[in-house]
């Protein structure tokens, strides 16, 4: 689908793109570029690319498609480094969980002769690094494209076809709408997970060994999410703060309502809420976004059955 595909960053997402592109012949040549030499050396040991370099400018020369897989906060620096070296007609994309701020950071530094099509594959696990990727990561998961106004439709469709070839389902929306949707479906759940695991760690009445020993399924789910890459998620919250704060305010209002229902023994209110949320869970399973299998019966972490929403 691309003669030369350049991957800037080779962690979980970049590594998974490399693996599926290699397995299914989606690129004639894969060029891998990372900031750290040791990461690049590991990618080479795993055979994730055909060429490897720490020089981003050299990596993108002659590339038909460049996918930037770095923490959101590093997007602008990457765009500044690669912009002058992109060939006419090249497609530049990313995989960040925030879109409006990525557009603001990257677009000013990319030449008019290149096509900028931001993307967000909504797939991931709590693991990171080049060893964490696997070719099946994107199977039956959504990839959201957020092209800025005026983007060449042919370039958008070309990238959409690439993502569909990885196994993804593709949706297109504005960057701002993406950020609002993902704030409630991904970013707030991660924030809650970080907070509740942190709260458990700081409880003086409960020892750390008891938290680990008696963790129920719900808490284990929180710990898995809270184990996600700290740098990536720090940048997500800093660069999508408006949408996160708005959705967090709504969540806090609903949490206070739930607190009142518990305090005043309002069983009807609790039952009504739990019935609604149960229906949502069943809907997620029905469309294939998760499995109903018990957590102890699932594949080991990192496999397709343990896929979480990245954000």
**pLDDT > 90: percent of the chain:** 74
Dihedral (C-alpha) 50, 160, 121, 300: value to the nearest 10 degrees? -70
Neighbours of 199 (CB within 10 A): 9
Residue bearing tokens 């890459």: 229
pLDDT of residue 204: 65
* Comparison of pLDDT for 218 and 93, the residue scoring more: 93
Specify the pLDDT at position 307. Answer: 37
Q: Where are the domains of the chain?
A: 2-173, 177-306
pLDDT at 179: 96
Residue of 169 and 291 predicted with greater confidence: 169
- Mean pLDDT, range 30-41, rounded to an integer: 97
Q: Which two tokens stand for residue 63?
A: 């590339």
**To which residue do tokens 């009445």 refer?**
205
**pLDDT above 60 for 42:** yes
pLDDT band at residue 203 under the 50/70/90 scheme: confident
Supply 286's token pair. Answer: 């029905």
Contacts of 150 (CB under 8 A, 6+ apart): none
Tell me if 158 sits within 8 A of 186, measured CB to CB: no
Q: Answer whether 166's CB lies under 8 Å from 26's CB.
A: yes
Rounded to two decimals, the pTM is 0.83
- Residue 255 in this model has a pLDDT that exceeds 50: yes
- Summarize the chain as % helix, strand, coil (round to 5): 55, 15, 30
Q: What is the mean pLDDT of residues 79-105?
A: 97
pLDDT band at 180 (very low <50, low <70, confident <90, very high): very high
Structure confidence at residue 212 (pLDDT): 77
- What average pLDDT does this structure show over 136-145? 96
Contact 85, 111 (CB under 8 A): no
- Domain 2-173 has what CATH class? alpha beta
Contact 109, 83 (CB under 8 A): yes
| Predicted confidence (pLDDT) per residue in 268-309, tens digit | 999 999 999 888 888 877 777 666 655 443 443 333 333 333
Least confident piece of the model among 33-47, 211-225, 232-246: 211-225
- Where does residue 7 rank: exposed (0-12), middle (13-18), buried (19+ CB within 10 A)? buried
Domain 177-306 has CATH 1.10.760.10: no
- Mean pLDDT over all residues of the chain? 90
**Separation between Cα atoms, residue 229 and residue 235, nearest integer Å:** 10
């Amino acid at each position: 689908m691309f003669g030369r595909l350049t991957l800037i960053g080779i962690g979980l997402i970049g590594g998974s793109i490399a693996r599926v592109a290699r397995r299914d012949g989606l690129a004639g040549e894969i060029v891998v570029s990372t900031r750290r030499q040791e990461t690049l050396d590991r990618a080479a040991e795993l055979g994730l690319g055909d060429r490897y370099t720490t020089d981003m400018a050299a990596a993108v020369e002659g590339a038909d498609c460049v996918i930037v897989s770095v923490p959101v906060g590093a997007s602008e620096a990457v765009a500044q480094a690669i912009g002058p070296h992109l060939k006419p007609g090249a497609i530049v994309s990313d995989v960040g969980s925030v879109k409006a701020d990525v557009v603001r950071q990257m677009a000013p530094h990319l030449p008019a002769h290149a096509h900028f099509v931001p993307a967000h594959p909504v797939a991931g696990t709590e693991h990171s690094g080049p060893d964490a990727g696997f070719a099946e990561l994107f199977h039956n998961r959504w990839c959201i494209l957020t092209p800025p106004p005026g983007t060449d439709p042919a370039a958008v469709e070309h990238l959409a076809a690439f993502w569909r070839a990885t196994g993804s389902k593709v949706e297109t929306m504005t960057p701002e709408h993406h950020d609002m949707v993902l704030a409630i479906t991904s970013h707030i759940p991660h924030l809650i997970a970080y907070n509740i695991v942190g709260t458990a760690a700081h409880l003086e009445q409960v020892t750390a060994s008891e938290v680990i020993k008696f963790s129920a399924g719900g808490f284990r789910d929180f710990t898995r999410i809270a184990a996600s890459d700290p740098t990536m998620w720090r940048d997500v919250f800093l660069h999508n703060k408006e949408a996160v704060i708005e959705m967090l305010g709504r969540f806090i209002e609903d949490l206070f309502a739930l607190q009142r229902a518990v305090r005043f023994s309002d069983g009807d209110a609790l039952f009504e809420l739990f019935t609604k949320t149960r229906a949502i869970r069943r809907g997620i399973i029905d469309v294939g976004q998760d499995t109903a299998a018990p957590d102890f019966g699932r594949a080991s972490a990192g496999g397709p059955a343990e896929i979480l929403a990245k954000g």
